[in-house]
Amino acid sequence: MNIALHGIGLGGGIAIGQAFILDKDLEDVAQFTLEDSEVATEVLRFENALRSTRKELEYLRGNIPYDAPAELGAFLSLNIMMLSDSQIAQAPVELIKRESCNAEWAIKLQADYLSHQFDEMEDEYLKERKTDVVQVLERIFRNLEGNKFDWNDEGKFERGILVTRDLSPADLVHFKDSNFAGFITDFGSRTSHTAIVGRNLDIPAVVGVANARQFVREDEIIIVDGIQGVVIINPDKIVLNEYKRRKKEWLESRQKLRAIRKDETVTKDGVKVEIFANIEVPDDVEDVKYNNAAGIGLFRSEFLFFSQDNHIASEEEQFEAYLKVVKVMKKLPITIRTADLGADKNPLWNSSHGEAENPALGLTGIRLSLAEHGFFRTQLRAILRASHYGKIQIMFPMISSAWELKQAVNQLELAKEELREEKIPFDNEIKVGSMIEIPAAALSLKGIFNYADFISIGTNDLIQYLLAIDRNDESVSYLYDPLHPAVLQVISHVIRTANKENIPVSICGEMAGNVKLTRLLLGMGLRKFSMYSANILNVKKIILNSDVADIANKVSKILRSESRERIYELVDQLNEDIELF
């Protein structure tokens, strides 16, 4: 019997395979009686899992994703502290010895005991802490030898479908190199960082499929339609054959896209457009070259600081990372954005700043860099040194005013002076750019143009700040709307003003890689797009099949509309003659 579930499709086509349930549940644990000679080994197995859990949590605390909630650091610290509590660290050991049982059963017994204790409490706040305690025990359970998940298993998981509660951005880094054909999650919003990273892996995926794990059984055949956001469990022969046909069509369409890789990106009426790539780590450049991008429009350098536990990348390490990219890209332009870190990341060297109540409005981006001169100067020196070997540009994040940009440029000049004194070569004419992702910056462009050679619109944060919406909060993420009239007006204003002043302008946020918006942005006057490599050929296809002169009037009509429904209708009409993926 077919069971169809719906969620949020992240694209990547269609995958068909056997289900693998990542999350083993304490409720399903069986009890095994041990021989006396096996008890000591089982205690050691538990203690090893406890150590692995502590190491895992400490690593996560030192490598919190850049857009994580402010309370995440405190939450992880609390979990680490719990690991030292006797009710978690010692009680399961005593149960293993007293009951001669397996570690899984001991953890389950202790979780049930603690849950009951919390349920008996009268204080509502303390009752709610039950979840925190049980989650720590579940993490230890998953780290027991035999339960721990190996992303690179060559056997059972090959071309299978991963089914899980949720995947973090860090998990998706593992997923990229795993043998899975696709994944589905119970949780996830359209605008979360996990969804953004997932979309750009170009792997069939559907997130936010509520209770998926309750319906899917291990090894069951499931279909993941990342295009339509549909998951089909145990499909019958007719449905299976239909999706095999659709999958074949999808793969054939992708093959056709590869044929345009080397084509010049020019519209039907001869307007030249440049498509750049976004990268997070140096290894991403191979995909950039394969898709024939015009260069790198956004190197998110902050990811260099997430790779090692409690470690700030040195000048030499940063220099080597930038140089690696330069060597692959050769003479193509590379825009390196200085680290867009913030109080919510709270790496070891930034611990004195504590936890911000609202990190998006706190010490983040260029504000943090200007507050941490030593850290900032080290990165500027590394970028400048690499600029001697390639066509590097530097861009500053979260600029809100010309004054702020001026301070950043002053620090750049000081770094240049240091290198001159040390007789270290660099590009003295290196171009300087500013991210436009704060509404204040979008409304004070002329002052910013006094210090910026180019600008790039960061639509992800710009929309968030304009609409006062946390895009990671599932309860309000539905309000995150790139087609909101105010969003379109601001983006159009930035593009129009930059073009008038002959300042190069690009968009490097999610909107740049959304094929539904390509013609809209072309009609606004955008000629430089920057996106994840997975989206380049799809967007290129739209550009090659567009006539700017024809769409200009239609886009003007869209910009004059104040109705959300009418805007969506007009955007659909703008794309009605071409197939979108």
| Domains within the chain, CATH numbers bracketed | 3-20+161-243 (3.50.30.10), 26-142 (1.10.274.10), 256-574 (3.20.20.60)
Sorted by sequence, the CB contacts under 8 Å of residue 494 that are 6+ apart come out as 436, 442, 445, 455, 457, 505
Mark whether 508 is an active-site residue. Answer: yes
Could you tell me the CA-to-CA distances from 110 to 89, 96, 107, 116, 229 in Å, in that order?
11, 11, 5, 10, 39
- Token output for 86: 């006797």
Evaluate if residue 11 carries a pLDDT over 70: yes
Evaluate if residue 65 carries a pLDDT over 60: no
What's the whole-number mean pLDDT along residues 539-568?
A: 95
Residue 535: which of 519, 512, 517 has the closest Cα?
A: 512
Question: Sorting pLDDT into bands at 50, 70 and 90, what band is 304?
Answer: confident
- Most confident listed range (104-118, 139-153, 195-209, 297-311): 104-118
Residue 243: which of 319, 187, 179, 181 has the closest Cα?
A: 181
Q: Residue holding tokens 């000049």?
A: 413
Per-residue confidence (pLDDT) for residue 68, from 0 to 100:
47
Question: Sorting pLDDT into bands at 50, 70 and 90, what band is 385?
Answer: very high
Evaluate if residue 294 carries a pLDDT over 90: yes
How does the average pLDDT of the chain come out, rounded?
Answer: 86
Give the span between the Cα atoms of 346 and 213, in whole angstroms: 34
- Most confident listed range (65-74, 134-143, 232-241): 232-241
User: Phi-psi bin for 30: left (phi > 0), alpha (psi -120 to 50), beta?
Assistant: beta
Q: Does 200 or 354 have the greater pLDDT score?
A: 200
Per-residue confidence (pLDDT) for residue 556, from 0 to 100:
96
What's the whole-number mean pLDDT along residues 275-302?
A: 92
* Sign for the pseudo-dihedral over CA of 486, 488, 491, 497: negative
Evaluate if residue 173 carries a pLDDT over 80: no
Could you tell me the CA-to-CA distances from 506 to 72, 140, 493, 521, 566 in Å, in that order?
33, 46, 13, 10, 27
Per-residue confidence (pLDDT) for residue 394, from 0 to 100:
98
What's the whole-number mean pLDDT along residues 118-146?
A: 72
Q: φ, ψ for residue 172 (rounded to 5)?
A: -70, -25
**Which tens digits make up the pLDDT trace of 387-429?**
999 999 999 999 999 999 999 999 999 999 999 999 999 999 9
- Token output for 503: 């300042």
Task: Report the amino acid identity of residue 487.
Answer: V
Per-residue confidence (pLDDT) for residue 178, from 0 to 100:
73
Active-site residue, from 6, 101, 116, 193:
193
Which region among 76-80, 87-91, 215-219 has the lowest average model confidence (pLDDT)? 76-80
Q: Name 101's bridge partners.
A: 33
Query: Which 8-state DSSP code applies to residue 35?
Result: P
**Which tens digits make up the pLDDT trace of 430-477?**
999 999 999 999 999 999 999 999 999 999 899 999 999 876 666 777
Evaluate if residue 576 carries a pLDDT over 80: yes
Per-residue confidence (pLDDT) for residue 310, from 0 to 100:
47
Q: 278 and 297 in contact (C-beta within 8 Å)? A: yes
Residue 53: which of 165, 152, 135, 151 has the closest Cα?
A: 135
C-alpha atoms less than 13 angstroms from C-alpha of 92 in its C-beta half-sphere: 32
Alpha helices in 200-311 (DSSP H): 212-215, 237-258, 285-290
Give the span between the Cα atoms of 92 and 268, in whole angstroms: 69
Distance of CA 521 to the CA centre of its chain: 23
Q: 54 and 73 in contact (C-beta within 8 Å)? A: no
Q: 328 and 291 in contact (C-beta within 8 Å)? A: no
Could you tell me the CA-to-CA distances from 80 to 50, 60, 72, 137 in Å, in that order?
10, 11, 12, 12
Evaluate if residue 75 carries a pLDDT over 70: no
Coil vs helix vs strand at 226: coil
Give the span between the Cα atoms of 327 and 333, in whole angstroms: 12
Per-residue confidence (pLDDT) for residue 342, from 0 to 100:
66
Q: Residue holding tokens 């300042």?
A: 503
What's the whole-number mean pLDDT along residues 182-198?
A: 76
- Most confident listed range (190-199, 213-222, 370-379): 370-379
Active-site residue, from 6, 101, 373, 508:
508
- Token output for 367: 């504000």
Question: Sorting pLDDT into bands at 50, 70 and 90, what band is 343?
Answer: very low
Question: Sorting pLDDT into bands at 50, 70 and 90, what band is 329?
Answer: very high
Which region among 163-167, 344-348, 538-542 has the lowest average model confidence (pLDDT)? 344-348
The pTM is what? 0.72
Task: Report the amino acid identity of residue 170.
Answer: A
What's the whole-number mean pLDDT along residues 299-308?
A: 75
Per-residue confidence (pLDDT) for residue 573, from 0 to 100:
95
Q: In the chain, what percentage of residues exceed pLDDT 70?
A: 84
Per-residue confidence (pLDDT) for residue 150, from 0 to 100:
59
Q: 11 and 134 in contact (C-beta within 8 Å)? A: no
